[in-house]
Amino acid sequence: MAEKDKVKKRRHWNRDDTELTLISLPTVIWFVLFSYLPMFGIIIAFKEYKLSGGHGFLYSLLHSEWVGWKNFKYFFTSNAFAMLLRNTILYNVVFIILGAFFAVLFAVMLSNLRNKKGSKVYQTMMFFPYFMSWVVISYIVYAVLTPEKGYANAIITALGGQKIMWYQEAKYWPFILTFMKIWKGLGYGMVIYLASITGIDPSLYEAAVMDGATKWQQAKYITLPSIKTVLVMMLILDTGKIFYSDFGLFYQITGQIPQSLYSTVSTFDTYIYKAIQSSAPIGKTAAASFFQSICCCCTILFANWVVSKIDKDSTII
């Protein structure tokens, strides 16, 4: 009997498995080439990388001096580390909370529209900014905020106020960056939650209406509990990126981070980018990037663990 069971298990592979494997093969190859093979370069963070004359990258990497945690110590003890950590985490926390709130809010509002054509128009209009590059958006922001001929200053002076030097006043940028992030990503998050809402059994709403439930009560007791799993899943995934920042948002929108805004809008990603452009050793830059990756892995595992203690059905791992 044991031999027959083994034969059955061996024959379990069928034609559908072969077809699905072939379909997924391009994706597997892409991840191997661009995600897993480059992980070998992690050792740069533990070496003082120097090019060897007449040899290529791999030879130079393997024969560079091993410095252990020296690159990490340099990064952790730098004057900018505390500021970068603060900015990266606080910005992302605000983005996650407000992004989820407004995405769910607008998804619920659109799901209650009776005019379906109007709902489709609103969805398209709100989703359109997601496809725009931060470079394009940065020119729009500059046209609004440029001190000399910007629309914002034109309105302020027309109302009797004084012109604001937007790119020299750091206090305004946390609000500007938050608004731009929510505006650009709102449509994407809204569509995800709206798709979940459309999958809710309509009979639940019909029963609620017969019982005299208002729109707010329907949303509170039917819609929100029904999309809870998707909401928690999205929050866990967003938590996994809390040590990363949207480089285009912080670098392009601010006009490549002028010195007047440096301490307010700089994050790990912009720091690493500027370090690569400078004469800083690549090992120290790699250490900062590796630190990001480890922290993001830990945060997503921790968030998933916390959720598993509260509601196992909402975990992603």
Tell me what pLDDT residue 175 has.
95
Q: Which residues contact 140 (CB under 8 A, 6 or more apart)?
A: none
pLDDT along the chain (317 residues), means of 10: 54 82 93 87 86 77 86 89 94 95 92 83 89 92 89 90 90 95 92 90 89 89 90 90 91 91 93 85 88 91 89 78
CB atoms near residue 82 (< 10 Å): 10
d(C-alpha 225, C-alpha 153), whole Å: 45
Contact 124, 132 (CB under 8 A): no
d(C-alpha 203, C-alpha 223), whole Å: 12
Tell me what pLDDT residue 116 has.
79
pTM score, whole prediction: 0.85
d(C-alpha 293, C-alpha 269), whole Å: 12
Question: Sign of dihedral through CA atoms 185, 188, 189, 194?
Answer: positive
Tell me what pLDDT residue 223 has.
92
Return the bridge partners of 47, or none.
Answer: 66
Q: Which residues contact 114 (CB under 8 A, 6 or more apart)?
A: none
Alpha helices in the chain (DSSP H): 2-10, 15-31, 57-62, 70-76, 81-111, 116-127, 134-145, 151-158, 173-198, 202-210, 215-218, 224-226, 228-239, 247-252, 262-265, 268-277, 282-310
Tell me what pLDDT residue 269 has.
92
Tell me what pLDDT residue 97 has.
94
Tell me what pLDDT residue 38 has.
83
Return the bridge partners of 65, or none.
Answer: 48
CA-based radius of gyration for the chain: 25
d(C-alpha 109, C-alpha 105), whole Å: 6
| CA 297 from centroid of its chain's CA atoms | 14
Tell me what pLDDT residue 35 has.
85
**Cα distances (angstroms) measured from residue 281 to each of 66, 85, 155, 275:** 14, 21, 47, 8
